[in-house]
Amino acid sequence: MIVVALCRPGFEPECASDLARIAAVAGARIECTPVPRAAFVAASIAAFDEKRWRSALMRRPAWFARSIFAGDGPHALSERDRITPLVALVRAHRPAFSALWLETPDSDEGKRRSGLCRRLAGPLETAAADARLLDARPTGPPSVRSGVADRLQRRLHILFVDSTHAYVGTSDAATGSPWPMGIPRLSMPRAAPSRSALKLAEAFVTFLNDEERARLLKPGMHAVDLGAAPGGWTLQLAQRGLRVTAIDNGPLKGGIAHDPHVEHLRLDGLAWRPRRRVDWMVCDIVLQPSRIAALVAAWIGDGHCRRTIFNLKLPMKKRYAEVERCEAIIRERLEARALRHVLAFRQLYHDREEITGYCAVND
């Protein structure tokens, strides 16, 4: 069995480390040689067990892999007729499927093949439907559906690594990415003072499901934005009706500087603490990852906030080890306080040389 994981270009070794750790949880071993700048990793797993792999994905979600599917390939395809052999390959993957995703790696070369995917999508979906390979029942995201069958909706992935070679495989709604290529489609708010606004928007849809976003991001809740300037993350919170205390010695830019939901304090974000516990603390301060991890651990562990989203700016080398170190810093502080908590990391599409974390205590 081949397991394919898509990632940010330049993070192939970290993506391979993700697969190795997930495989270890599943009691398996992988073999792979990451290709620099390929924006994906293909790993071979002997004696693949689908149930154990799915369980491992749920217990140990990936940090750097945006989307993971299991299948086979790469398969050679003729430029004259790609549809017929692809339909034949799909039959071997236990249809029917709730969705058919034609994908490319998120590399410069992969982006040039997006037109090929668009041209093939309609004819291939028609051929697959005619061959009864697609499930005609209505589908929805796992956050709003119920039942084992719904959670295990199977999506078909066809990843074109070049114009004539593709991997074919499947993922399910319970453990796979909700979006093709693992990339959510988000719109930049017109009033956003920086593109960083999209990072927090993506973090909300990545770490929280529909019900959690409605319950945990209610108008009137109180949030603190550490390192707020120029105001992209503050904007995302204020537009949801949260009252925001923006902490930064620098200025907020644009309309967010005058938003009635926002109080801007020109203070040191590392030293400031609220008088009362707040619902959210978000942090995008540029600082060594371990210092941000210690800051997050103090805010959560000392009861200054209920939940937090934060960015870790990663070093050029030993990036995976640095995330492991930061995870340990936070967990040790919270476990010492006997706090039941959730801690997750994910390199988002809108991240660069960084990774985003989410931590929450269970009241």
Which tens digit of pLDDT belongs to each residue from 179-231? 999 999 999 998 899 889 999 999 999 999 999 999 999 999 999 999 999 99
313 catalytic residue (yes or no)? yes
The Cβ-side half-sphere exposure at 46, using a 13 Å CA radius, reads 2
pLDDT of residue 190: 87
pLDDT of residue 98: 94
Q: Per the omega criterion (within 30 degrees of 0), is the bond before 230 cis?
A: yes
pLDDT of residue 142: 41
Q: Taking residues 77-101, what's their average pLDDT?
A: 94
Residue 121, pLDDT above cutoff 60: yes
Number of domains in the chain: 2
Residue 151, pLDDT above cutoff 90: no
* Least confident among 120-124, 188-192, 252-256, 331-335: 188-192
Same domain, 121 and 214: no
Same domain, 43 and 118: yes
pLDDT of residue 143: 40
- Residue at a domain's end among 123, 150, 182: 182
Residue 92, pLDDT above cutoff 50: yes
Nearest to 335 by CA among 361, 304, 308: 361
- Residue at a domain's end among 158, 182, 206: 182
pLDDT of residue 171: 96
Residue 42, pLDDT above cutoff 70: yes
Same domain, 30 and 133: yes
User: Would you call 185 helix, strand, or coil by DSSP?
Assistant: coil
**Owning domain of residue 48:** 2-182
Q: Taking residues 328-332, what's their average pLDDT?
A: 98
DSSP 17-47: HHHHHHHHHTT--EE--PPTT-SEEEEEETT
Catalytic residue among 111, 218, 253, 313: 313
Q: What is the CATH number of the domain that holds 79?
A: 3.30.2300.20
**Model pTM greater than 0.85?**
yes
Residue-wise pLDDT tens digits, 44-59: 999 899 999 999 999 9
Domain-embedded: residue 187: no
The amino acid at 295? L
For the chain, helix, strand, coil in percent to 5 are 35, 25, 40
Q: E strands of 248-304, at which residues? A: 262-265, 278-283
